[in-house]
């Protein structure tokens, strides 16, 4: 999702790097031939000093794979005026059948691909969006931990033959239910394990609440992010959590130059294996963040209850597929349609306005894809 175009003929030296926490394996190529490979300690200063000493009169371009080392090396190289590209590891050309992999070979492969113009840079988020991404990732960690510990509690009770307390009308994990779990009769060792799991749930809930408060404070202090969050929330089905998560992943909206970018970035476009007159399309690519994609699909369920146009679109797709997978395909198609609205809202910096449409049938759609003859209150909260 980068708007910067790389032209190999504009550079004299191409440096491919394989980066890990201990060092940098770097290979240098010219337009004609391989120059040298070397390994240096992980330090941007060491790399810059070496390049300035040996390639002072040359235009040098750098590239490395995205990974756990982040964007620190990119920031340092760009700051002193060098061109640096951070490439997605899955999209770097590979030689089929090659069974030898080393850091030096990887750096040479990256340098050769850079020289040939075969690499495309990922979008590098600014510091504000990186910080927002850290916060949203932390929130998702606590949500995942809470869900996992709730499942462990249920599995423990099932294993011991203990019935889970009957849920009330609000939630199966209300304060009343947790209080009953703390007093449920069981063996001493089971009680110790159960109390530990319940303690983990309470702790993660507290940390989740703190992370949400920190996210809200961070957005409040950044006017551009806050304005974009409010714009995204005008789209039916998208709530605060998903809006913030989308911005953390997409980054600066000014880099959105194509309506198809967001769907591709979130892995909501179909795979395609076509040749000649034969067109074969498969399941979605599932590229990018699975957490953001899942949130958007949950938003799609809420959206079809609020927007008659999306509800009609869902029913059209649903009736064109076999019942076994119609609901799944239809709701993914709705999520894909939501990405076009997200693009329009961010690109135009205008709120979304729901089109007034007259419903042809008095129906409401359930997550299983079936319809009911009477409209009932939506059971899904806004994401």
The predicted-structure confidence for 149-201, as pLDDT tens digits, reads as follows 999 999 999 999 999 998 877 788 988 899 999 999 999 999 999 999 999 99
Provide the pLDDT for residue 365.
54
Give the integer Cα–Cα distance in Å for 31 and 60.
Answer: 11
Provide the pLDDT for residue 377.
33
User: For the CA atoms of the chain, what is the radius of gyration?
Assistant: 26
Q: Which residue has the higher pLDDT, 378 or 263?
A: 263
Q: pLDDT band at residue 383, thresholds of 50, 70 and 90?
A: low
Give the range among 119-123, 222-226, 259-263, 272-276 with minimum mean pLDDT: 272-276
Which of 355, 351, 354 lies closest to 342 in space, CA to CA? Answer: 351
**φ, ψ (nearest 5 deg) of residue 48:** -65, -45
Do β-strands 23-30 and 83-87 pair in parallel, antiparallel, or remain unpaired?
A: unpaired
Q: Which CATH superfamily is domain 8-115 in?
A: Ribonuclease H-like superfamily/Ribonuclease H (3.30.420.10)
**φ, ψ (nearest 5 deg) of residue 187:** -65, 165
Q: Is the pLDDT of residue 223 over 70?
A: yes
User: In b/e form, how buried is each residue of 296-326, taking b as 16+ CB within 10 angstroms?
Assistant: bbbbbbbbbbebbebbebbbebbeeeeeeeb
Provide the pLDDT for residue 195.
96
The DSSP output letter for 382 is: P
Q: Is the pLDDT of residue 126 over 60?
A: yes
- Per-residue pLDDT averaged across 233-240, rounded? 96
- Per-residue pLDDT averaged across 214-218, rounded? 97
Give percent of the chain with pLDDT exceeding 90.
74
Do β-strands 364-365 and 34-41 pair in parallel, antiparallel, or remain unpaired?
A: unpaired
Provide the pLDDT for residue 4.
56
Q: Is the pLDDT of residue 1 over 60?
A: no
Provide the pLDDT for residue 194.
97
Q: Is the pLDDT of residue 209 over 60?
A: yes
Domain boundaries, the chain: 8-115, 127-221, 228-372
The pLDDT tens digits of the residues spanning 273-299 come to 888 888 888 889 998 899 999 999 999
The pLDDT tens digits of the residues spanning 79-116 come to 999 999 999 988 888 877 777 889 999 999 999 999 99
The pLDDT tens digits of the residues spanning 317-373 come to 999 999 999 999 999 999 999 999 999 999 999 999 987 654 444 444 555 554 443
Which of 87, 66, 93, 85 lies closest to 6 in space, CA to CA? Answer: 85
Count the Cβ atoms, other than its own, within 10 Å of residue 55.
Answer: 16
Q: Calculate the alpha carbon distances from 304 to 64, 198, 202, 231, 315 in Å.
A: 42, 36, 34, 19, 10
Predicted structure pTM score:
0.85
Angle at 200 between CA 196 and CA 204, to 5 degrees: 175
- Per-residue pLDDT averaged across 216-222, rounded? 97
Provide the pLDDT for residue 343.
96
Q: What is the mean pLDDT of the chain?
A: 89
Give the integer Cα–Cα distance in Å for 197 and 202.
Answer: 9
Which of 38, 92, 26 lies closest to 62 in space, CA to CA? Answer: 26
Count the Cβ atoms, other than its own, within 10 Å of residue 347.
Answer: 14
Cβ contact 286:267 at 8 Å? yes
Provide the pLDDT for residue 381.
42
């Amino acid at each position: 999702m980068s708007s910067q175009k790389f032209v190999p003929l504009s550079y004299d030296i191409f440096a491919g790097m394989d980066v890990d926490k201990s060092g940098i394996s770097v290979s240098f190529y010219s337009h004609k031939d391989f120059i040298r490979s070397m390994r240096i300690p992980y330090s941007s200063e060491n790399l810059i000093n070496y390049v300035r000493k040996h390639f002072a009169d040359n235009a040098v371009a750098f590239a490395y794979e995205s990974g756990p080392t982040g964007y620190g090396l990119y920031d340092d190289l760009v700051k002193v005026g060098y061109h640096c590209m951070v490439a997605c590891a899955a999209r770097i050309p590979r030689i089929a059948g090659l069974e030898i992999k080393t850091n030096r070979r990887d750096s040479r492969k990256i340098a050769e691909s850079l020289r040939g113009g075969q690499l495309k840079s990922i979008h590098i988020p600014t510091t504000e969006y990186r910080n927002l991404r850290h916060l949203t990732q932390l929130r998702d960690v606590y949500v995942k931990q809470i869900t996992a510990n709730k499942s462990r509690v249920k599995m423990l009770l099932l294993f011991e033959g203990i019935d889970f307390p009957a849920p009330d009308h609000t939630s199966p994990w209300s304060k009343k239910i947790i209080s009953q779990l703390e007093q449920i009769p069981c063996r001493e060792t089971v009680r110790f394990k159960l109390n530990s799991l319940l303690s983990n749930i309470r702790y993660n809930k507290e940390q989740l609440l703190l992370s949400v408060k920190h996210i809200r404070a961070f957005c409040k202090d950044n006017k551009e992010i806050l304005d974009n969050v409010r714009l995204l929330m005008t789209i039916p089905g998208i709530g605060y959590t998903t809006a913030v998560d989308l911005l953390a992943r997409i980054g600066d909206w000014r880099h959105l130059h194509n309506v198809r970018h967001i769907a591709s970035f979130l892995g909501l476009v179909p795979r395609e294996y076509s040749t000649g007159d034969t067109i074969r399309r498969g399941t979605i690519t599932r590229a990018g963040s699975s957490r953001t994609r899942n949130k958007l699909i949950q938003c799609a369920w809420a959206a079809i209850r609020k927007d008659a146009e999306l509800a009609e679109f869902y029913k059209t797709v649903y009736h064109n597929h076999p019942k076994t997978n119609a609901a799944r395909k239809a709701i993914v198609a709705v999520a894909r349609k939501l990405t076009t609205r997200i693009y329009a809202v961010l690109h135009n910096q205008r709120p979304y306005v729901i089109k007034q449409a007259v419903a042809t049938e008095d129906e409401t759609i359930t997550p299983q894809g079936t319809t009911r003859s009477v409209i009932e209150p939506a059971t899904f909260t806004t994401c």
